[in-house]
Amino acid sequence: MFIALNITVHSFTREQSKSVLFYYSILHPIELFITRLLFNFLFLIGTAVLLILSMTVLLENPIQDLGLFMLVLSLSSLAFSIIFSFTSAIAVHTGMKNTMMTVMSLPLVIPVILTAVKLTLVSANVIMEDGTDSDIMILSSINLIYLGIAVILFPYLWRS
């Protein structure tokens, strides 16, 4: 989560007024949001894969079900990317951008973290759980809900 926060914190906050005007003239708001979202998602996946590879080389790999682990990693990275990109877009309009983004995104991230930690423990065989399919569906539905809200509300943020 901290890697995701540090990566996506400047998704919209580093824009200068001239570049925002340029983006406003050539892009649809949803196109801009989706491109930022995909960039943050790919960057998070790349960072997570590098972290997993370095931990595998330096430490013993505790993951027993690699397929489940990679699915949970991709779904939680997508959720972090959606949440932090959208809250970064909201925080641009406030005075304290980074603090506001952190405060707004924390309640949204908690369900993702709880579900991802549970599924990660299952993939490492630390706990035995039969309901992993329902937890994957919960994580996928969280992603769809957050993405739907962000796609609906981002054009209104973009106009202001």
Rounded Cα gap, residues 71 and 66, in angstroms: 9
Question: For residue 16, what are its two tokens?
Answer: 């200068």
Predicted structure pTM score: 0.86
| In the chain, domain spans | 2-8+25-159
Phi-psi region at 110: left, alpha or beta (left = phi > 0; alpha = psi -120 to 50)? alpha
Cα atoms found within 13 Å of the Cα of residue 145, Cβ hemisphere only: 10
Question: For residue 94, what are its two tokens?
Answer: 């406030």
Model confidence over 101-147: pLDDT tens digits? 778 888 999 999 999 999 999 998 888 877 889 999 999 999 999 99
Question: For residue 50, what are its two tokens?
Answer: 């590098």
